[in-house]
Amino acid sequence: MNPNNLLICLIIFTNLIVGENRLFTNTDLLNLLNNDSNWNKLEYTDDNITISKKELSFSKLVAIKVEKILNINPQLITDLLMDIDKYNTFVSNPKSFHSELIKSSSKGLIGYQFIKIDFPFFNNREYFFEIIPEGIIKDESNILCHWYLLNSNKIIELNKKKMPNATYLAFGAGIWKAEPYTSMGYKVSYSLYMDPGGSIPDFLIDLINKQSIIGLFRDVEREVISKNRNY
């Protein structure tokens, strides 16, 4: 199974997560991802992407972060990620992926994504998400945008029918950040927690998440660099 087919475009959390005797909200998870402490570096890719992980008390799965120094205008990343209908044009495996803008909310945008899994015994995946072009709190100027998956009840509110043979993803969130890095540009990072659902071993989920976030980061980097040349 190609890992990028499972969580190809996580530009992407449920209303509530239950874990270890406490209730985790969207804000709880986003704050954990945003916090710079307790990230442990795993490896470096050949194209200079740093990969880190963070263990979370409420889950056996880990959060993943990728980061790289880029000489770009970070606003272009926000603009790209907020153009939900255009995701289909720059992701690496567009035939296995569908992204659709559903509506504008008071804070940002609500989108829908469907991921086709061409592998025996694995259902397709789908989810609604809200993406907001700012930080969790208003003075966080280094955050380009953040997103979280919406509870499956949102399907009814949005008059959207579930796709047949699709597992609805309800646990996940992510944050894109860009911090000035001397004259070399910006340290751009994307941190993610995602539970792809279904009966998949934890170690495989962590591997899928790691490979998926790297693939998405590269897709965004490639597209933004192309746009940055003409900025």
pLDDT tens per residue across span 74-114: 999 999 999 999 998 888 876 778 899 998 877 899 999 88
Secondary structure of residue 226 in the 3-state scheme: helix
Other CB atoms within 10 A of residue 150 CB = 26
Residues 151-187: tens digit of each pLDDT: 877 766 776 766 667 888 887 899 999 999 987 799 9
pTM across the whole model: 0.82
Domains and CATH numbers, the chain: 3-228 (3.30.530.20)
**Six token digits for residue 48:** 């200079």
Ramachandran assignment for 159, one of left (phi > 0), alpha (psi -120 to 50 degrees), beta (any other) = left
**pLDDT reported for residue 205:** 46
CB atoms closer than 10 angstroms to residue 120: 6
Maximum pairwise Cα distance, the chain: 52
Task: Tell me which residue of 143, 142, 111 sits closest to 127, measured CA to CA.
Answer: 111
By the 8 A CB rule, do 33 and 56 touch? no
pLDDT at 200 over 60: no
User: For the segment 117-156, what is each residue's pLDDT rounded down to a tens digit?
Assistant: 766 667 788 889 999 998 877 667 899 999 999 887 776 6
Q: What's the residue count for the chain?
A: 231
Instruction: Give the mean pLDDT of the chain.
Output: 78
Residue 147 in contact with residue 173, Cβ under 8 Å?
Answer: yes
